[in-house]
Amino acid sequence: ISFMKTINLNLSAALLILICSFLQLNTIQSQCACSNNQVSNGNFNVNTSGWTAYNGDLTVSNPYPQCGTPLHAQFRYDIGTFGGFYQDLFSFSPGQLLDLKFWAGVHNSSPNAQFGFEFYNGTTLISSKTLQVDFILGSSGSGMQYYTIKAFVPATTNKVRITGFCNGDFLKVDEV
């Protein structure tokens, strides 16, 4: 009877590990899928078209691509107080809840690296909501960290900017 209990416990443990592995795989896959994405070229699989950079260089590279894709974006800070990159969106409604999901990382957490939303009326910044990106690339062997940020579009907004910026080193993102 003791032998049968051991077999049952071993089978139960194996089944639990299998279920946990399946749930983790589904979580990763759901982080890679994006329905109703308004961002153009957020996967950076070929180039950085659709994005504008300032005070640095925005290119694609291949050390840390996410979701089985070949490339990711990397911004290299050059000059100025901050450098960054952005894409402007115009298909939204004031009061709408926006949900931004992305993978990101840095090589050095000392510089201030941020990614998120800026809300404009014309050229006037109304407000912003960004997250600090401080995940050190290569630290866990898994590539980039998954981030998510939600924000309501302010009432007088006529342009939403998806933006990443830093004041030193690199900011790398993928699957925006």
Closest to 170 in 3D by CA, of 58, 48, 46: 58
Contact 90, 63 (CB under 8 A): no
Q: For residue 36, what pLDDT is reported? A: 84
Dist CA 134 CA 107 (whole Å): 9
* Mean per-residue pLDDT, 23-36: 56
Dist CA 18 CA 174 (whole Å): 29
List, as one string, the DSSP characters of 133-167.
Answer: --PBTTSSSS-SEEEEEEEEPPTT-SEEEEEEEES
Q: For residue 79, what pLDDT is reported? A: 86
Burial of 123 (0-12, 13-18, 19+ CB in 10 A): exposed
Q: Provide the 8-state DSSP code for 96.
A: P
Query: What are 84's two structure tokens?
Result: 């960054």
Q: For residue 34, what pLDDT is reported? A: 75
- Give tens-digit pLDDT for 62-94: 999 999 899 999 999 988 899 999 999 999 999
Q: Is the pTM of this model over 0.75?
A: yes
Dist CA 18 CA 77 (whole Å): 44
Place of tokens 């006037």: 124
